[in-house]
Chain A
């Protein structure tokens, strides 16, 4: 009897189990898989000077430290955007340089699967045709993750990640380049200047952090790298020297050029001065753009006044004077 009861219960369990199977398939909401993307690419930048008719192979390594991903390697042209080294990808290949992957089993725009912790080397071949015109051409090699299928029945969108590395190509038959740079702006950042009736003066508070902005314009047909330093001179001589970082300034563009030590200020600036300044100070810079290029100069000056200190002194004196006057008045009354 006991065995029969147990058998009945077991049968019921089996029936319930088989009823639950279709239920789990048709009514359970598919869970959303929160996928993490973590991709790194090396090298982060390639600078290439090449003769027409030549080709070169560059090995890019992409490492996946996130969840498994499907990647597609691609190349696009880019143009500089703004003055802080940003870029805008152009959704096509401009210029004469031709690209293909030399990997046995991967081609550009073809998907590649990368497991967690895996790395993939992409052997990018760049070929410059014989008749390629001299000049600069800028590209980005990038890998883009595949978002996968969108979930049905849910307001769940997807993100994709594109991680790129820039390629600066100078095509030159002789190896000569046109280095034609100019300093477009060299002054204190406007926010640091003294303002009176809507006008700005190069008068600063002695204790202020002073952001300095230097913008270099490239008027040539090849990229340039500024080389030089910025010198700060006070009433007693040279106060500090700041080495200019030789960033790339692309053809027909301008760029904010940083100098060391670079400052951590909110507004984009070349560097910031910090200290206690009194009197007239002069900033001067001399920059060259490689062997054979003529140096360019720029200077700026500012007057530092301890406005805060003077204000405190004036207020203190006023208060002291008022106290003395009041005390004397009380003495006279008494």
Chain B
């Protein structure tokens, strides 16, 4: 009997300590988990009524007048439909507890795989500034200021502990040349101000497993109000046309 009680107690203790609470809840009233009930044809890019060609073809007048359309899928010069894949290593941007005059950074890896299909781009924007629920914000960085003032399209040096704000640095494949060192930063284009997303990865050459690292950085002054500052960064990856 005592053995059973012992086991029960240990089990309860184990369950209590082992319980890990994740803040991401994948359930919602707006969606439901179910298997797709659509299975259209055997090809990945076709339907029962329409076939997508992957070959280069001339506009056949007869075909066009009868069907009313001509459709081609994929890049015609490579004769293949290659999936366009985009990966972000982590979607959490954890800058920890921000201390005045001490920069906090966090990295994420971006990867694009496009076989040998060629040109692609990845752009980035923030939905708004790093902001508390009371609408107090951390400004976007201007880098060191003066001659080293950066903007959404030009990275500049940001290594001064008294230069404040929120920005990012890029390194790796296909990143803009103005990120010449790990201390060169840009501010994020602000979607709430209708700023154009910035291209952070692009290549006119082949795009197989192109990887880059984005480094998020925040630095605050001693007069920055205490609070929880958050935003959402949107990465948009598209193949070329």
* Chain A interface (Cβ < 8 Å from any Cβ of B): 6, 10, 13-14, 17, 20-21, 24, 28, 30-51, 53-54, 56-61, 63, 65-66, 68, 70, 80-81, 84-89, 103-105, 110-113, 115, 120-121, 123, 138, 140, 142, 144-145, 147-166, 168, 175, 177, 225, 245-248, 250, 256, 258, 262, 264, 266, 268, 291
**Is B240 within 8 A of A85, CB to CB?**
yes
**Chain B residue contacts of A60, Cβ below 8 A:** 45
**Chain B residue contacts of A61, Cβ below 8 A:** 44-45, 83
**Chain A residue contacts of B70, Cβ below 8 A:** 48-50, 175
Q: Which of B59, B61, B241 interacts with A85 by CB under 8 Å?
A: B241
Cα(A104)–Cα(B6), bound, Å: 55
**Chain A residue contacts of B52, Cβ below 8 A:** 43, 46, 58
**Chain A residue contacts of B94, Cβ below 8 A:** 32, 154-156
**Is B92 within 8 A of A121, CB to CB?**
no
Cα(A112)–Cα(B82), bound, Å: 24
Flag B175-189 by CB within 8 Å of A: 1 or 0 each.
001000000000000
Q: Which of A40, A43, A63 interacts with B45 by CB under 8 Å?
A: A43
Cα(A144)–Cα(B50), bound, Å: 26
**Is B69 within 8 A of A49, CB to CB?**
yes
**Is A148 within 8 A of B25, CB to CB?**
yes
Q: Which of B9, B21, B93, B114 interacts with A156 by CB under 8 Å?
A: B93
**Chain A residue contacts of B202, Cβ below 8 A:** 84, 86
**Chain A residue contacts of B147, Cβ below 8 A:** none
Chain B residue total in the interface (Cβ 8 A): 99
CB contact under 8 A between A156 and B241, given known A84-B204, A120-B36, A291-B58: no
**Is B228 within 8 A of A160, CB to CB?**
no
CB contact under 8 A between A30 and B9, given known A41-B84, A51-B69, A112-B31: no
Q: Which of A35, A113, A268 interacts with B90 by CB under 8 Å?
A: A35
**Is B31 within 8 A of A58, CB to CB?**
no
**Is B44 within 8 A of A142, CB to CB?**
no
Say how far B191's CB is from chain A's closest CB, in angstroms: 9
Q: Which of B26, B108, B236 interacts with A70 by CB under 8 Å?
A: B26
Q: Which of A45, A150, A266 interacts with B239 by CB under 8 Å?
A: A45
Q: Which of A38, A85, A152, A156 interacts with B85 by CB under 8 Å?
A: A38
Say how far B118's CB is from chain A's closest CB, in angstroms: 8
Cα(A147)–Cα(B75), bound, Å: 31
23 pairs of residues in contact across A and B, judged by CB atoms under 8 Å: A35-B24, A36-B91, A37-B86, A37-B88, A38-B87, A40-B86, A41-B83, A42-B84, A48-B69, A51-B64, A54-B68, A84-B204, A85-B121, A86-B121, A105-B34, A110-B30, A120-B36, A123-B40, A149-B25, A159-B235, A175-B61, A246-B56, A258-B204
Cα(A137)–Cα(B124), bound, Å: 24
* Chain B interface (Cβ < 8 Å from any Cβ of A): 2, 5-6, 9, 12-13, 16, 19-26, 28, 30-34, 36-38, 40, 44-47, 49-50, 52, 56, 58-59, 61, 64-65, 68-77, 81-98, 104, 108, 113-114, 117-119, 121, 130, 177, 196-197, 199, 202, 204-206, 216, 218, 228-241
Say how far B100's CB is from chain A's closest CB, in angstroms: 14
**Is A147 within 8 A of B20, CB to CB?**
no
Say how far B104's CB is from chain A's closest CB, in angstroms: 8
**Chain B residue contacts of A47, Cβ below 8 A:** 71-73, 76
**Is A44 within 8 A of B83, CB to CB?**
yes
Q: Which of B26, B59, B86 interacts with A175 by CB under 8 Å?
A: B59
Residue of B nearest to A147 (CB): B232
**Is B73 within 8 A of A45, CB to CB?**
yes
**Is A36 within 8 A of B86, CB to CB?**
no
Say how far A221's CB is from chain B's closest CB, in angstroms: 16
Cα(A147)–Cα(B26), bound, Å: 10
CB contact under 8 A between A24 and B19, given known A54-B68, A155-B97: yes
**Chain A residue contacts of B75, Cβ below 8 A:** 44-45
**Chain A residue contacts of B74, Cβ below 8 A:** 43-45
**Chain B residue contacts of A32, Cβ below 8 A:** 23, 92, 94
Cα(A89)–Cα(B117), bound, Å: 21
Cα(A166)–Cα(B119), bound, Å: 12
Q: Which of A13, A46, A151, A164 interacts with B236 by CB under 8 Å?
A: A164
**Is B204 within 8 A of A85, CB to CB?**
yes
Cα(A17)–Cα(B90), bound, Å: 35
**Is A165 within 8 A of B84, CB to CB?**
yes
